[in-house]
Each structure stands twice: as C-alpha cells, then as structure tokens.
Amino acid sequence: MCGICCAVSFSVEHFSRDLKEDLLCNLKRRGPDSSKQLLRSTVNYQCLFSGHVLHLRGLLTAQPVEDERGNVFLWNGEVFSGIKVEAEENDTQIMFHYLSSCKNESDILSLFSEVQGPWSFIYYQASSHSLWFGRDFFGRRSLLWHFSNLGKSFCLSSVGTQASGVADQWQEVPASGIFRIDLKSASISQSVVLKLYPWKYSSGGDDIRECVHNSLTEISADLPTLVLVAANEAKLYLKDPVVPLNMALPQAAFETHCSSISRSPLTRETLRVFLTDGHTKEVVQQFIGVLSTAVKRRVLCLPRDENLAPSKVLKTSNGKANVAVLFSGGIDSMVIAALADHHIPLDEPIDLLNVAFMTKEKTIPVNFNKKGRKQANHCEMPSEEFSKRAAATAAASPGEQLSVPDRVTGRAGLKELQAANPSRIWNFVEINVSLEELQRLRRTRISHLIQPLDTVLDDSIGCAVWFASRGAGWLVTQDGAQPYQSSAKVVLTGIGADEQLAGYSRHRVRFLAHGLEGLNKEIEMELGRISSRNLGRDDRVISDHGKEARFPFLDENVVSFLNSLPVWEKANLTLPRGIGEKLILRLAAVELGLTASALLPKRALQFGSRIAKMEKNNEKASDKCGRLQIISLENLSVEN
C-alpha cells in the first residue's frame, strides 16, 4: 500500500514545489515507511511526484522511482499473479522494469492486462510527454483527480483533502480503463484531453463501441469545461481480467429438488442435504480451492522475521499478528478467517477486529477488571478520554456486556474458530466507539476519506470500517480485558461476496419481481459499480491507518470462477434467508467445518455494529449525509 500523488501545472505562477500540508499529511498516513518527492520541469509544464510507501514485500523501495531516460513511476498495488514476482522481490521494481522496456502504447496495455491484483498507478513517459494513470478493473485501490477550473493545473492522488465546496471537490478516477494525457499538447492548447484505453468488455465490436461511448459520456459529466475525455485513436483496449457473467437460465422451471427444505427448520444438516448431490459437492470444493488460493496469496506475501520486543507482547501471544480480519462473525468473515488459518503460520496470532457503536456510555467489554487496567501501557489507547471513561465505567459495572448484533455473532464466531483450531491464538479485538469519539474523529480524520461519496450509507460504512481497521480496542481473555492495538498491516475484508452471491435484500426483491433473469442483471450491475460504490472509499479509510485492505472475494480467479457458474448454483432465493442467499458460500462453510455461522442471514454492517442508530433514525441510506456537508463548512470556517 502506498500514497501516490502527481501535481501538474501548466503555468509558473500556479506551480508549487511542495504539496499542501494537509494533502501531504494524508498521504504519509497511507505510507509511513518512506516518503520522497521528485520534480520534473520542462518549458511547457512542471510535475511534482510524491510517493509514500507502506512496506510489505521485498526490499523497501522508495517512490517515486525513475530511470536514466527520465521516466517516473508511482505504484500503489500488489502483483498477486499474472506477472512473476518472487517472494524476495519488490513488485514496484518489477513493474517499472517492464514499463521502461515497453516500446509503444500496446505494450503498456498488454502489461497491465496481465497483472492480477489490486493497483493504481501514475507513470510519466518522458519521451512522449505522456502521463499515464489508472485503477484496476474493480477499482480496489483509490485514485482521485482534481482539476482547476482555469485549466492551469491538476492533481492525481490516492487521497484528497477536505473539500470546501463543490468547485473544490475531488473526484474518483473511474475504473473504466487507463488514461493518458499529452502534457505538452495540453500546455499549448490550454485544455486537458484525457485519452481513455478502456477494458474490453465484449468480443462484439458494436457492444464495445457502445460501452466506450457510455463511459465517455459518464466521465465527461463530472469534468470542468476545459477538460475533455476521448477514446484513443488506435482503438486499443485492456484485456478484461475476468470471464463474462454466465447469464444462462435453466431449461426447466426453477423449483429445485429442495423445495421441501423451505418448510423445514433450518439446521446445519439442512445444508448437508445439498452436499449429497455429487455435482454440487464438486462445485463447492472447486470454490473452496480457488478462494483458499486467493486468501493464501494475500496472507503469505509479508515480512515475518520481525517480532515485537517482549515488553510489547501480551502474555496471551508469542508474537505479533501480521494479518487482521474485519470480523462480524457472519458467513463472509468466518470463511475468510477459517481459510486464513489454513495458511498463516500456526505460531502467529490472527486479529479479529469487531466494531460496536454505543448508544450509551458503556465502553467496557465483559469481565474488564483492575488487572486489565494495569496493563494499559502495553499499547496505544484510542484516546486519553476513552481510557478515563473506560476506567470509570469498569468500576461501576465490571460485568456489563456490549451486545450489539455483530458483537454477539462475533463472540459466537470466535468460539467456532477456537473449536476448529484450538492451537491458534485468535485475538478477538472488541472495538467500542462512543458517540463523542465518532463525531470528533469523523470531523477531524474521516470525512475527507469518505468524500467524494456523500450519502448516509457512505458515512455509516466509512466510519465503521475506519474504526474497525484502526484496531484499537480491548482484548478479552480468561484473565480479564487488556487494552490492545493491532499491529497487523494487512486487513482482510469480505467485500464482494454479497455482490456476487445475491447477499443483499435487493437481490431477493429483484428475483421475486423478475425471476432469475432479473437476478442475473442485478448481480451484473453490482459488480459493474463496485469500484465507485465501495472500493475507493474502503481503501481510503483502511489505508489511513498505514494498513492495506485485501479483498479475497474480488481475486480475479475467484470472480471468474463464480462468473462461470449459472446463478442457481450460487444462490437459491426460493429458500429462506439464512440459506438461499450466498448458498455456495454456506455450503463451503459446512465443508470447512463451521457450524452456526453457516446459517446466519445477511446483516448490514451499519445495523450489525449499530452505527445506524447513533445519531438519526429517520434517514434513508441514499440520502445525502448532512453530517459530512456540515463538516466541510465547519472546517472551512476554522481554516479561514
């Protein structure tokens, strides 16, 4: 994970040799291990490149990197497959080596078409005065752009700053393909032309032209007048990294051999009925195999030779956790945790990060005691106020439990994982957030990360994921509760499962109204918009802690496998909640030895963590969030 930025100016009076302090600070939080800036200046334009590295694999490579021909590269990504990167190698160096040897545009597109893994990048090609940039097919890494209305400058960055109004708003670079700007031409014409090299969605020429036209129209709508977007003249494309979604419909009426199941009490044995079918069992085993490989790639590419000093290690652990899971105890996070357990060294703890928002001032987990308080110096606490309030509450009600739904299912999930592998140290981190802390940190740290997204849903999920991934909470053991700060740099999340496996209630609504054909279209739409709806925001809020988000369900091979299946092999919405949605994942959970969690119905993070109940109860998820807009005005008045 890195924070990358390129500020371009076409006039001397609009150029600064340094980034604004708030932008630089936001970038450094993403990449705390190395910071470097590089200036490229010509008669026509000036470019300031800024790179901030979170070191996770190979030798620490400061960014930006440059070569003898004046090319400059900023890389925020992970090559998990497609291009060979040895365990001891750094993928930034490998990617730059290949890029520097590219002879033409087609070579550059071929390179990025081969990469499997999340990425965003900025590449300055000196010989052609070209600035290339873009995000991967799913948009798993954030990249924003900001154009001045006068057309005199623009900026590309992993993260923005607090916007003071619509005109000052950063926007997400669409994950529609790769863009190229001819900087010399832009300076002369005094207008920026974004040349798009789109993903090739279809083998049919007419379909491709229609998709490109739609992409250009959508992108242009949010750009200033002097910024134009156009398809590249050579009609070159990136190769789609996943197979198309199987839209097939069954030949016979869709009732399935399991119609009697819907009338039976739901138990683990209910799911086992499906696994008596040979074809179903084979498909489930194949799914487990491809998902397990995806998890393995995401937990093994990490330096593991560093241990905390003895004073930093809790008595419950022999070492530090390198990997954490955003953990509600639901089916998605349970399967991810179970598969991570298969691949992470057994002597290494796994952090399970469980967030809860408190409508009352009860911030202490069950069994907190004085012994726990004496160990407060073993880690950084969320805040001094939090620590004081925690001690006061503990004295008043030492047995008080915080029982929001995700805390209840999280504790139950912990027991399942402990039963499955009692040799593993599972650190169940109870992250308790008060209203005061939510409002304060939303204002000072979180709001600009959620933007340019601006709905109530974005606010709820963005804040919940920010607090969860921070990993500052309480570790509950048999001896009591100890303050704990997760050291994991990698955070696994289950996003992508609901979108592909009909996990949302809207999938059931669409199925009931339009059958399997309607369900297929809903799933296709979900995958198509996941970059703009979720992933940029989640990347920004998790990375703000110097941690990297990794998404096993959005591994290219996992998506291709699921896309290849007919929809009825992934979900069966004729069955009740808790079985029908994400059916293939529930069957995988049973095969992995999980129990009660395999039958848990979908519960959205904002409701499971209770953040949706913290401030207003009469809001719709799609409403514009007034709290984010108010923050913008407040910060503007403070700055002035």
List, by residue number, the catalytic residues. Answer: 2
Q: Give the angle 77-79-80 at the CA atoms, nearest 5°.
A: 125
- Which residues in 97-242 belong to E strands, given as ranges? 119-125, 130-135, 144-147, 153-157, 171-172, 177-182, 192-200, 227-231, 238-239
Residue whose C-alpha is closest to residue 615's, from 436, 392, 405:
436
Helices (H), 325-381: 331-343, 370-373
Helix (H, G, I), strand (E, B) or coil at 100: helix
CB-CB contact of 50 with 5 (8 Å): yes
DSSP letters for 406-429: HHHHHHHHHHHHHHH-TTS-EEEE
Angle between the N-to-C axes of helices 331-343 and 583-591, in degrees from 0 to 180, rounded to the nearest 10: 40
Give the H or E element holding residue 431.
strand 426-433
Q: How far is CA 614 from CA 403, 432, 549, 603, in A?
A: 15, 13, 26, 17
CA distance 407 to 537: 24
Q: CA-CA distances (angstroms) from residue 408 to 263, 403, 413, 414, 592?
A: 27, 6, 9, 10, 22
What length is written for the chain? 640
Token couple for 621? 């998820």
Q: Taking the mean position of all CA atoms in its chain, how far away is CA 480?
A: 33
Here the tokens at position 90 are 């750094």
In the 3-class helix/strand/coil scheme, how is 124-145 assigned residue by residue?
EEHHHCEEEEEECCCCCCCCEE
From residue 493, give the alpha-carbon distance in Å to each of 333, 413, 490, 549. Answer: 7, 16, 10, 7
Given a contact cutoff of 8 angstroms between Cβ atoms, the answer to whether 371 and 327 are in contact is no
Look up residue 361 and give its DSSP letter.
S
Q: In what order do the strands lie in the sheet with 171-172?
A: 34-41, 46-53, 2-9, 153-157, 144-147, 171-172
Which token pair is 364? Answer: 């202490």
Q: At which residue do the structure tokens 């940029």 appear?
A: 536
Residues with Cβ < 8 Å from 322, sequence gap 6 or more? 299, 302, 304, 344, 348, 487, 488, 489, 490
**Residue type at position 133:** F
How far apart, in whole angstroms, are the C-alpha atoms of residue 56 and residue 265?
Answer: 47
Residue written as tokens 């003249």?
233
CA 590 to CA 204: how far, in whole Å? Answer: 41
Cβ-based burial of 87 (10 A; exposed 0-12, middle 13-18, buried ≥19)? exposed
Which of these, 537, 541, 395, lies nearest to 470 by C-alpha position?
A: 541
User: What does residue 386 show for φ and ψ, rounded to 5 degrees?
Assistant: -60, -45
